[in-house]
Amino acid sequence: MKQYLPMKVTVSIIKADIGGLPGHAWVHPKILEFAAERLREEQRSGLLIDYFVYNVGDDMSLLMTHTKGENNPDIHGLAWSIFKEATENIAKKVKLYGAGQDLLKDTFSGNIRGGLGPQVAEMEFEERPSEPLVVFAADKTEPGAFNLPFYRIFADPFNTAGLVIDPAMHQGGFRFEILDVYEGKVYLLDAPENSYDILGLIGTPGRYIIRRIYRKSDLVQASVTSVERLNLIAGRYVGKDDPVAIVRAQHGLPAVGEVLEAFAYPHLVEGWMRGGSHVGPLMPAKMVSIDQERKIALGPKMTRFDGPPKVIALGFQLHDGYLEGPRGLI
């Protein structure tokens, strides 16, 4: 009988808007194809274990698995070079709207976080015997748009029955790492004990963002969300922040159905067009197509007023660092 040996793997999502077709509607298919080919080359070279490329509206996400850990300059440098090259060779060439708008610097300085512009969500962990992953991406909204659904996933027993009936979750609950993006302060608060304090913070999603969530009993990391605020970095409006996130599911963590159920309620978020001129519901949206062989998925386009704010979910099974799937989940 084959013995299971845990493997430490890093799952990274790095996302940027480098030009829309037309306006802020969609990512040009040639950009997705270019990114997939570049990632395929790096998989062959051994830098990456696996990858997948997808978009929501005008935002392109690079999903990568590797063993380099978080904030690795080779991984971040790869993503940066893909965004820069696609901007210069495709987006600017065909005059896409807002070509390179999320790239706030001219040169890469070793790490995308903290000033270059793209959104980053990364998580390093040991693979469990079965490792379901749900990756989320949103368009025309703000990072704090995930605050309410993530609270419901990990702290609301009316959404997540496992908090009541699964001993691994019932005995301790979850720890929320919340970032104050204005002052850089980090709050570590436990649910259910500090539920009112958690809600008091995340009810201001433009300032307080749930960055990471851990199972309190053993500090197994369950989720990570991007928290970069472009207007705070650039000092001016340069585009919506459009968050990405990774959630681990099952086996002592919320079930996939519990993770998705939290997005069934279309709560109001800031977003839409012209720097968030409207407030409206965060709407689950289906992918237009998923090509597993080419490792490319085409996401939903905008409808009216550059909106509504949209969220997609892709489901993968991770095995030895490889991404089995995905399946469109909402």
Residues designated catalytic: 17, 237, 240
Distance separating alpha carbons of residues 41 and 34, to the nearest angstrom:
11
Cis check for the bond before 326: say yes or no (omega within 30 of 0): yes
* Residue 127: Cβ within 10 Å count: 17
**b (16+ CB within 10 A) / e for 141-177:** bbbbbbbbbbbbbbbbeebbebbeebeebeebbbbbb
Closest by CA position to 22, among listed 118, 98, 103, 104 = 98
Q: Which candidate, 32, 245, 224, 291, places its Cα nearest to that of 138?
A: 245
The whole-angstrom distance between residue 154's C-alpha and the CA centroid of its chain comes to 17
- Tell me which amino acid residue 92 is: K
Nearest to 6 by CA among 159, 96, 183, 127: 127
Element (H, E) at 167: helix 167-170
Token digits of residue 161: 């029955």
Residue among 35, 38, 31, 53 nearest 98 (CA): 31
Between CA 62 and CA 22 the distance in angstroms is 21
Closest CA to 27 of 104, 99, 110: 99
d(CA 41, CA 149): 36
